[in-house]
Amino acid sequence: MNWHQQPKEKLEDLLQVSTTAGLENGQAKARLRQVGPNTLEQKKKVPGWLLFLRQFQDTMILILIAATVISAALGEYIDAITIVFIVIMNGILGFIQENKAEKSLDALKELASPTMTVRRSGQWMTIPSAEAVPGDIVKLTGGDKISADIRLLEASNVMAEESALTGESFPVQKHADVLTSSDVSIGEKENMAFAGTLVTKGHGIGVIVATGMQTEMGKIAHMLSDSENSETPLQRRLSHLGKMLITGALILTALVVILGIMQGQPVYKMLLSGVSLAVAAIPEGLPAIVTVVLALGVQRMIKRNAIVRQLPAVETLGCASVICSDKTGTLTQNKMKVTALAGGNGLTFRKSKKPFERAKHEKLLTYGALCTQIAVEKQENPGMKEELRRDPTENALLEAAEASDISLPSILAAHTIKKDFPFDSDRKRMSVVVTNKKGQSFVITKGAPDLLLERTTQIEANGRVERFTPMKKQEVRQTITLMANKALRTIAVAYRPLKAGETISSAETAERNLIYLGVEGMIDPPRQEAKDAIKECRQAGIKTIMITGDHKDTAAAIAKEIGLLPEYGLVVTGKEWNQASDREKARMIQKTYVFARVSPEDKLNIVKVLKSQGHVVAMTGDGVNDAPALKASDIGIAMGKTGTDVAKEASALILRDDNFSTIRSAIKEGRNIYENIRKFIRYMLASNVGEILVMLFAVMLGMPLPLVAIQILWINLITDGLPAMALGLDQPERNVMKRPPRSSTESIFARGMGWKIISRGFLIGVVTLIGFMTALYEQPDHLVRAQTIAFATLVMAQLIHVFDCRTNGTIFDRNPLENKYLTLAVLSSVVLLVLVIYTPMLQPIFHTTALTVVEWMLVLALASIPTFALAGRTLFRPASRKPAKA
Ligand code: ATP
């Protein structure tokens, strides 16, 4: 269908909708049933049974199954059946882990689902984009991400960035006129906006012509790669590590098998043990557990209002060394209230609940309220609901006027807004052209006082307009500084009557030779929780920098109040920053804690300088113009409430509550997730080292095998499964936020972990062997007893060692019962061990025999050694060499 060629009436006809009232609610529901949800079809899901079967795809598992078949052929039915059972259990465990990982990732995707403003049954309302249908009348505003194909009906200055569809990264101008040519490419359809593209500027209204897979984006959807599912750098590094471990495990296992055969052990038994050992030693569960830990961590972050859009951000968060944060709404509450007015009549503060005196401030309050986006919208749509008032700064201006009995409807009854030049954070001001009842036209401008003053030539005081002498200007500047030092956000208001016949074509022509009217000063109380969060970040070696468009003194006052600006800290303005050379910038940034009056381009430059100094930078933003800086930072953070879709699209993390302290929580969670991954890798690998070494040492010493194949497989199933998972859910150590950030290039084995794995693994192997040898020495003919003791020692040593893995310090540093999942996992493993040893029916299967109390004492004493011997060693270390206590 050539939607771009249809006139409005034809569109109404074709899509069966009235553009003024929109679809009826019922009609929209019926269409939704008919055409389906407005979403792109996901990649085909792997069905459950296939996911389950995939668990057995692993080469080693296949070899194990082959070995089992051989042992069955040799008449070892019980062994064969048990191995099959264990392999299936292993598969189920792997399946549960992977399934859980996939489910949690799906849940995350849903959370980030976008919304749309549509007109239904005559009312504007916000709906999930998935519920939009062809025929819906939608509103587009700068910053929106478009999620359906739309034919524009009205467009004021609309620019769209369509690189996702056309590859063209420069925004293109849109209009609502009919196009005549039928043969036009997507990029040339200037009266249409497409799903997957972004509105960077302006506002407009359009009608949806296609949704879901029918959109242009839908048509190429199968070509898009699903980037959110990509592996994180850590996952990539781990799969590399996995390959190395497999090689290592195979070499060692082969050695065990060859040595065993050379010593005269039966070949088939050695092969079975060898394959079992290889299965046990290869950490096949690693990738799934990492995904589960990442996904569960991400869910915990959501509970704390941080939505992760890109999984790798979870890791990067743990490395963040600088947070560049907006001020308004993030470090402050964004609950603005005008508390001071300064004009030609001097400075007036508002007494707690009392309004300003109307007679004295009428013009400043009226013009301040008239020159707002809310006034512009209210004029277009008088029935507009109050909650649509979005910008707190403008709300404050209106509230101050209303409190003094100057209501917006009464202002709009007396004035008509003819034109508006909206606020943006580059210009830091906004203007309207209005006509009053007497037919006089004038420009009203409001904005950042320092910039506005440059455009004023006259001042109005006590109803008289005078020349704005340099001295007078100086006085006004002093008053503004006084207000800013009290942490007030200041907005100046100025105006200019238009000469007869004068037309205004651009903001530039409007905003000059203005008459200064006054300044409104508003408080925006700091968020109390920000103070603690900044302190905690500082202890964690993370510097917080405030980056704001606000006045230098206002920013500094708030920064001091929340403990962000130390005595020696610098406050730098965008202008000062731009005047500095690259070398000066590099030096300056080390001491700078507040950047004031910056533009979004400055933000980008600040990120670049910080990154060039080796920092890992987290940067917040909300506007369209913030997107480049958000993308350039290591962790772009968008505001969930006030942020535009464009900013959200460009970021890795979204703060649902716009709150600074949420960033702190996310960083803490990020650090913890990484530590937890390290914890279970440490546990799994040390256990595997122990298992391989005990077998290797035994064959090297010419002894019988300390463990039979089934025991090895059982250990792999029980100890590698639940306790490892539980470690992944461990609580953070108390000192996670007292350490400097980890380097992003740090090896997973850094900070002594490699040594810990080898030393503990070695000891686990040695004590198991000692248990085995002691038992054989006492009763040389009772191999099953010796094997049971070795089996119990190995399992118990691992189950004690798991608590040691919870901390970078020693086992004494943490309450062992704190992690209830771990306690449960360990307890159930112990119960299973006891069952396998004492149940008469299971004894022949697992080659075990009941142990006496004395034997258990030996087992427990030996099993404690790997963990406690080395922990004890640290206890006696000189204090200076002790690692920081957890
Ligand atoms: P942050 O970047 O921390 O959110 P901010 O919200 O103060 O800071 P901007 O919104 O870019 O930054 O505002 C910069 C300046 O522009 C403000 O100090 C104020 O003087 C002026 N200003 C803010 N909002 C408006 C508005 N709606 N109309 C006119 N001027 C405004």
* Structural domains present in the chain: 3-42+108-226 (2.70.150.10), 48-101 (no CATH), 234-303+667-735+747-875 (1.20.1110.10), 306-333+527-658 (3.40.50.1000), 343-519 (3.40.1110.10)
What is the reported pLDDT for 389?
Answer: 57
Q: Residue 307: which pLDDT band, with cuts at 50, 70 and 90?
A: confident
Q: Of all protein residues, whose CA lies closest to atom 4 belonging to ligand 1?
A: 328
Residue to mutate, 325, 331, 425, 495, ligand 1, most ligand atoms under 8 Å from C-beta:
425
Helices (H), 76-225: 77-111, 163-166, 216-219
The pair phi, psi for residue 168, each rounded to 5°, is -85, 115
- Please determine, for residue 885, whether its predicted confidence score (pLDDT) is greater than 50: no
Cβ neighbourhood burial of 657 (10 Å; 0-12, 13-18, 19+): middle
Nearest CA residue ID for atom 20, ligand 1:
448
Which of 520, 485, 482 has its CA nearest to residue 393?
520
Query: Residue 407 above 50 pLDDT?
Result: yes
Give the whole-angstrom CA distance, residue 17 versus residue 535: 56
Q: Quote the pTM value.
A: 0.81
Question: Given the CA of residue 551, which atom of ligand 1 is nearest to it?
Answer: 18
What is the distance in A from the centroid of ligand 1 to the CA of 112? 27
Q: How far is the CA of 374 from the centre of ligand 1 (A)?
A: 15
What are the tens digits of pLDDT across the range 12-40? 999 999 888 899 999 999 999 998 888 87
Written as six digits, the tokens of 512 are 């000059």
98-102, 626-630, 648-652, 778-782: segment of lowest average pLDDT: 98-102
Contacts of 861 (CB under 8 A, 6+ apart): none
CA of 285 to the centre of ligand 1 (A): 51
196: left (phi over 0), alpha (psi -120 to 50) or beta: left
**Nearest 5°: phi and psi at 815?**
-70, 115
**Quick one: DSSP state of residue 327?**
S
Task: Answer whether 488's CB lies under 8 Å from 396's CB.
Answer: no
Ranges 423-427, 538-542, 729-733: which has the least confidence: 423-427
Residues above pLDDT 90, as percent of the chain: 48
- Over residues 356-370, the pLDDT tens digits come to 888 889 999 999 999
C-alpha distances (whole Å) from 178 to each of 183, 192, 205 are 14, 10, 15
The single residue listed with the structure tokens 């707690």 is 352
Question: Pick from 173, 159, 222, 165: which is nearest to 196 by CA?
Answer: 165
- Dihedral over Cα of 410, 414, 419, 420: its sign: negative
Cα–Cα distance, 672 to 733 (Å, whole number): 8
Q: Which atom of ligand 1 is nearest to the CA of 554?
A: 18
Cβ atoms of 489 and 444 within 8 Å: the answer is no
The residue with tokens 């690259």 is: 582
As for ligand 1, residues whose beta carbon falls within 6 Å of it are: 326-328, 391, 393-394, 423, 425, 428-430, 446-448, 489-491, 548-551
432 with 443: CB under 8 angstroms?
yes
Residue ranges with strand state E in 468-567: 489-497, 514-523, 543-547
Q: What's the gap in Å between 577 CA and the centre of ligand 1?
A: 19
Residue among 394, 436, 432 at smallest CA distance from 412: 436
Atom of ligand 1 nearest to the CA of 491: 20
Q: How far is the CA of 350 from the centre of ligand 1 (A)?
A: 22
Contacts of 329 (CB under 8 A, 6+ apart): 392, 622, 639, 641, 642, 658
In a mutational test of the pocket of ligand 1, which residue from 323, 324, 377, 393 has the highest number of ligand atoms less than 8 Å from its CB?
393
**574-623: per-residue pLDDT in tens?**
999 999 999 999 999 999 999 999 988 899 999 999 999 999 999 998 88
* Residue whose CA is at the smallest distance from ligand 1 atom 31: 447
Query: What's the whole-number average pLDDT of the chain?
Result: 86
pLDDT of 768 > 60? The answer is yes
Residue nearest atom 17 of ligand 1, based on CA coordinates: 550
Return the beta strands (E) in 426-488 as ranges: 429-436, 441-447, 456-461, 464-467
Nearest CA to ligand 1 atom 6: 328
**In 3-state terms, what secondary structure has residue 8?**
helix
Residue 422 Cα to ligand 1 midpoint, Å, equals: 12
Query: Residue 284: its pLDDT value, please?
Result: 66
The more confidently predicted of residues 429 and 275 is 429
Residue with tokens 């209002």: 305
Q: For residues 294 and 451, which has the higher predicted lDDT (pLDDT)?
A: 451
- The helix (run of H) or strand (run of E) holding residue 557 is helix 552-561
More confident call, 760 vs 184: 760
The SS3 of residue 861 is helix
* Residue 227 confidence (pLDDT) above 60: no
Rounded distance between C-alpha atoms, residue 467 and residue 444, angstroms:
18
Task: Tell me which of 79, 136, 144, 326 is the catalytic residue.
Answer: 326
Torsion sign across C-alpha atoms 587, 590, 594, 595: positive
Residue 338 gets the label, from left (phi > 0), alpha (psi -120 to 50) or beta, of beta
Nearest Cα neighbor of 551 from 511, 492, 475 is 492
Instruction: Give the lowest-confidence range in 9-23, 444-458, 563-577.
Output: 9-23
Residue 225 has pLDDT above 50, yes or no: no
pLDDT of 886 over the 60 cut:
no
User: Which atom number of ligand 1 is nearest to the Cα of residue 490?
Assistant: 20
855 by DSSP, 3-state: which? helix
pLDDT attached to residue 111 = 56
For atom 26 of ligand 1, which residue has the closest CA? 423
Which ligand 1 atom sits nearest the alpha carbon of residue 327? 3
pLDDT for residue 104 is more than 70: no
CA distances from 248 to 276, 290, 549 (A): 15, 21, 57
Among protein residues, the one with the nearest Cα to ligand 1's atom 12 is 549
How many Å apart are CA 119 and CA 129, to the nearest integer?
13
Tell how many helices (H) and how many strands (E) occur in the chain: 32, 24
Q: Which atom of ligand 1 is nearest to the CA of 447?
A: 30
Residue with tokens 């697992």: 846
Rounded to the nearest angstrom, the distance between the alpha carbon of 343 and the centre of ligand 1 is 20
Q: What type of residue sits at position 116? A: M
- Residue 619 pairs in a beta bridge with 324, 636
Q: Atom 1, ligand 1: which residue's CA is nearest?
A: 548
- Taking the CA of residue 550 as reference, the ligand 1 atom at the shortest distance is 18
Helix H segments across 263-391? 267-281, 286-303, 312-317, 358-370, 373-380
Confidence label for 542 from pLDDT (cuts 50, 70 and 90): very high
Greatest Cα pair distance in the chain: 117
Report the C-alpha gap between 456 and 675 in whole angstroms: 58
Q: Among 529-533, 642-646, 796-800, which stretch is predicted with the lowest mean pLDDT?
A: 642-646
Ligand 1 centroid–CA 336 distance in Å is 12
pLDDT on residue 226: 43
Taking the CA of residue 489 as reference, the ligand 1 atom at the shortest distance is 18
Mutating to test ligand 1, I would choose from 453, 491, 594, 606 the residue with most ligand atoms within 8 A of its C-beta, which is 491
Length of the chain: 886
Residue owning tokens 């404050």: 396
pLDDT at residue 828 greater than cutoff 50: yes
Residue 326 falls in the annotated catalytic set:
yes
Quick check: 880 pLDDT over 60? no
Cα 183 to ligand 1 centre (Å): 45
Contact 317, 306 (CB under 8 A): no
What integer is the mean pLDDT of 758-783? 95
pLDDT at 557 over 90: yes
Q: Among 428, 432, 603, 658, name the best residue to mutate to test ligand 1's pocket (greatest count of ligand atoms within 8 A of Cβ).
A: 428
What sign for the dihedral angle of Cα 783, 785, 790, 792? positive
Is it the case that residue 85 has pLDDT exceeding 50? yes
Mean pLDDT of 673-691: 92
Ligand 1 centre distance from Cα of residue 391 (Å): 10
Residue owning the nearest CA to atom 9 of ligand 1? 549
pLDDT in tens, 849-866: 999 999 999 999 999 998
pLDDT band of residue 505 (cuts 50, 70, 90) is: confident
Confidence of residue 645 (pLDDT cuts 50, 70, 90): confident
Q: Which residue, among 810, 796, 803, has the nearest Cα to 862 in the 3D structure?
A: 796
Give φ, ψ of 61 to 5 degrees. -65, -40
Instruction: Pick the range with the lowest mean pLDDT from 306-315, 326-335, 438-447, 821-830.
Output: 306-315
Q: What is the mean pLDDT of residues 761-786?
A: 95
pLDDT-derived band at 43 (thresholds 50, 70, 90) equals: low
Indicate the top mutation candidate among 453, 550, 552, 644 to test ligand 1's pocket, ranked by most ligand atoms within 8 A of CB. Answer: 550
Cα–ligand 1 centroid distance for 131 (angstroms): 35
SS3 readout for 80-121: HHHHHHHHHHHHHHHHHHHHHHHHHHHHHHHHCCCEEEEEEC
pLDDT recorded at residue 113: 61
